[in-house]
Structure formats: structure tokens, C-alpha cells
Amino acid sequence: FLGAGALLFALQNTAIVPLTFLGWQFESSLALVVILSITFGVLMSILASIPSALSASFKIMGLKKQNTKLAEEVIAHKEALAASEAPVVVDLRD
């Protein structure tokens, strides 16, 4: 759908527009200028989000390790508690 929409947009916006940027001057199709601008914006957004995504990934890995360590501690404490609770024997013959 996105490709079909872009093709339809390009076919309807074939006007040539002059562009000036930092001393460069050139002419191009309006559709090409808009599509390239959107593509450049999407790529910049992806590049800008990479550091936060990596940071979140490392934080998740650390939390998973901490969770595993805490789960092992819980198991060790349960085993120690079970071992310390010796059965009580009551002698009723006395």
C-alpha cells in the first residue's frame, strides 16, 4: 500500500521545482523532492533512536541477570529453611 501510494503521489506531482541549498541550485520533480525528504527524515529518526535502544537493551540484560541471581538466592534460602526445620519427635511414653 505504501509503494502504491508513493507511485500515485509521484504520478500526480510531476511539476519541476527549483531547489537551493547552501549555494547549490538544482531542479527536480516535486514528488521526488518530497519522497526523498520523507526518506531522509525516517533514516535520521532511526539513527537518532539507536543509542536509546542500545541503552535499553543493556539495561534489560542487566535486570535479567539480577533477576536470575535473586531467583537463585530464593531457592537457596528455601533449601536452607527446609534443612533447618527438623521434624519434632514427641515421646508420649513418659
Per-residue pLDDT of 20-62, as tens digits, reads: 888 888 898 888 888 888 889 999 999 999 999 999 999 999 9
- Check residue 20 and give left, alpha or beta (phi > 0: left; psi -120 to 50: alpha): beta
Q: How does pLDDT run across 45-56, given as a tens digit for each residue?
A: 999 999 999 999
Alpha helices for 1-94 (secondary structure H): 2-12, 30-84
Which contacts (CB < 8 Å, 24+ apart) does range 80-83 have?
none
